[in-house]
Amino acid sequence: MINVETIVQNYFIDILILIYFIVMLIKGFKDGFIALFYNLASLIFILIFTMMIYKPLSNLITIYTYNNDLISSVVGPVFNSTAIFIIVFIILFILRIVIGLALKPMLTSLNDKFHITKTINHFLGMILSAVQSLVIIYIVLVLIFLPFIPESQKKLAKNPIAYTIVNSVSIKKLPISSDTQKFQHISDKKVLEELLHVYLYAYKNGLISEEKATQFLEKQLSEDILRYNPQLSKEDKTVISKIIKKTKLSSPEQTDILNHIGE
């Protein structure tokens, strides 16, 4: 017998996505192509524009203040850049809505000018709405769910639709969860893996210098890796191996540390 409660618990994210997707399809069919074209085009524009400017802005504006200890100096810039990204996106999204109030009536009038039949208009609107909903779902998952929900990556892996949407776009993820924000000292394997994800993201995106990354690995992470045997992807382990070669650790020590990282 099918256990509905178990299905809802295990696939809750996918169920929400499907409900939202179906609602958006109906809305797209109702609103039509012309009105939705502005929505999708402007949404893609503000997403790309935000991705272009959030990093320079995060170097100029400090939202998240942090201490000068090694852990904070790695985690702090990542939280700051994430906060800047979200704030800029929200501001542009609000502007998009305000501008849309003025432009949409004019865009809708183009429907009559180009003599688009109602059937084609509604059908194309449904397709555009589907694309727009996928973009919005991706943004929510990457900017809100993955960074701030505890054990987000494990939960995402249980929901095939959400997992596919996130991994179908080759944009750098922000692998931060609320668990990472709470620690002061590395106390278990889970916290160490979260810290390693943040550390590698910061290094690969230039949020911390090579010198700081090398120092952090040598003085903070090396001992914890030997203690907790974290699991990382093959790609992340390769990055670690490149950084560790620049430390003052001996070759046997470097090899021992890398052998304690699972894939």
Q: What is the pLDDT of residues 129-149, one digit of tens each?
A: 998 898 888 888 876 666 566
Q: SS3 of 204, please?
A: helix
Instruction: Identify the H or E element spanning 139.
Output: helix 118-140
CA distance 117 to 83: 44
Q: Mean pLDDT score of the chain, rounded to an integer?
A: 78
Using alpha carbons only, what angle is made at residue 179 by residues 173 and 184, rounded to the nearest 5 degrees? 115
CA distance 213 to 200: 9
Q: Which of 182, 185, 200, 186 is nearest to 239 (CA)?
A: 200
* Per-residue model confidence as pLDDT tens digits over 202-253: 788 776 778 888 888 888 788 888 888 888 888 889 999 999 999 989 999 9
* Per-residue model confidence as pLDDT tens digits over 98-130: 888 888 777 766 666 666 677 788 888 899 899
Contact 160, 188 (CB under 8 A): no
Averaged pLDDT for residues 17-43: 86
Confidence (pTM): 0.53
**CA 106 → CA 103, 127, 139, distances in Å?**
5, 21, 28
Amino acid at 77: P
